[in-house]
Structure 1
Amino acid sequence: MDKPAINYLVEGEGETIVFIHGLSDNLNYWEVLANPLKNKYKILRFDLRGHGDSKLWGDEITVDSYTEDLNCLLDELNIDNVNLVGLSLGGAIALNFAIKYPSKVS
């Protein structure tokens, strides 16, 4: 079974900043910070699996599974290099992503 799509929003142009929300939040958490930055940067906000408008799938949800979801989303969007900003669970995902994919992180 194919996994469902991740709900995301891309705004602006320039270097990419990815905002990763915490547990029980969604991509709207970052709206106040993202709005002024989208005039200078490409902003990617997304709902983690099982949050917001992204469906829950899979037997086990781990930081690694969230990390792989982000990697797949970046590949789908043809984004090769990002700056990561995460809060709480999002911070753990950002750190794990930077460890697993250092060449993709500014």
Structure 2
Amino acid sequence: MPTMTSHHADLYYEVHGEGHPVIFTHGASWNHKQWEPQVQFFAERYKTIVWDVRGHGYSSLPEGKVDSETFSKDLIALMDHLEIKRAVLCGLSMGGHISLQTAIRFPERVEALVLIGTPFTNAFNWFEKCFVPFNRWSSRMIPIRLTGWIQAAMLSKYNPDNRAYIEEAFNMLTQERWLRLWDAITRMESREHLDHVQCPVLLLQGEHDTMIKRQQKYMHSKIRNSELHIIPRAHHATNLDNPNAVNEQISRFLVKHRNEF
């Protein structure tokens, strides 16, 4: 398995195809396999890169408290390892937030962003300010396998195949590892830096994804060079629920901005 080391973690990655680099970053508790429909589609024209964020999938997690700022540093380290100076970054949920923070902190390395169902904070409104701390506490009480089963059931309405994948991804996590990761993920914050993003941004939101609906609209209003599109027949697992629509939107966006790369 191809791995590289970044900040004491061994990170798993895959490279498919040749051409302009597009790096896909998965959602929390998932792994690189989330992007199989995109790898099959984009590897014919682009260097398509997927990886496991530290602590997920085949990537390791050092002992101690997880610092969420390390996520974007890992992504830059991966680019350095692959000798990629600049790339298009695409991510869903946590993976979108990691991509967003990378564009904020390392703007010279990011050509464009594709953010799918992406939050920029976990304290957007009063509900989140109350729910997220409760969620951190409840994650300690609920066994990791049950958490995976619940999430898989919730996010497989539009694509029944999601259930097996989500449960498989959760089964690669331990309770202890997940608690450390989730604590860091739910403390990621980028609200005050959205106007720092200067590259083209494509925001994709699942039609039925109420989890991040308000945040997507807010991001669109704050990021000058952004466009927002709704993906029909899709929830939070947007790229898996309706991969054809997602692939078409990303492909259109890449062609539209190819002269800027």
TM bucket normalised to smaller = over 0.9
Query: Is 2:96 the counterpart of 1:91?
Result: yes
Partner of 1:15: 20
Superposition deviation, residue 4 in structure 1? 3.2
Q: Structure 1: which 5+ residue stretches go unaligned?
A: none
Two-structure CA RMSD over aligned residues (Å): 1.2
Query: Is 2:35 the counterpart of 1:40?
Result: no
TM-score, with normalisation over the residues of structure 1?
0.93
- The question of whether the paired residues in 2 share the 8 Å contact of 1:12 and 1:40 is answered with yes
Q: Structure 2: which 5+ residue stretches go unaligned?
A: 1-6, 112-261
Q: Distance in 2 between matches of 1:14 and 1:58?
A: 37
Q: Distance in 2 between matches of 1:62 and 1:70?
A: 14
TM-score, with normalisation over the residues of structure 2?
0.39
**Whose helix fraction is larger, Structure 1's or Structure 2's?**
2
- Whichever residue aligns with residue 54 of structure 2, its letter is R
The higher radius of gyration belongs to: 2
| Higher relative contact order (CA closer than 8 Å, sequence separation 6+) | 1
Q: Distance in 2 between matches of 1:62 and 1:80?
A: 25
- The question of whether the paired residues in 2 share the 8 Å contact of 1:21 and 1:47 is answered with yes
Greater shift in the superposed pair: 59-68 or 95-104? 59-68
Partner of 2:56: 51
Q: Distance in 2 between matches of 1:48 and 1:73?
A: 11
- Whichever residue aligns with residue 46 of structure 1, its letter is W
Q: Distance in 1 between matches of 2:28 and 2:35?
A: 13
Q: Distance in 2 between matches of 1:89 and 1:50?
A: 13
Partner of 2:114: none
- Whichever residue aligns with residue 16 of structure 1, its letter is P
Q: Secondary structure of 1:48's match? A: coil
Superposition deviation, residue 47 in structure 1? 0.2
**1:72 alignment partner, one of 68, 71, 77:** 77
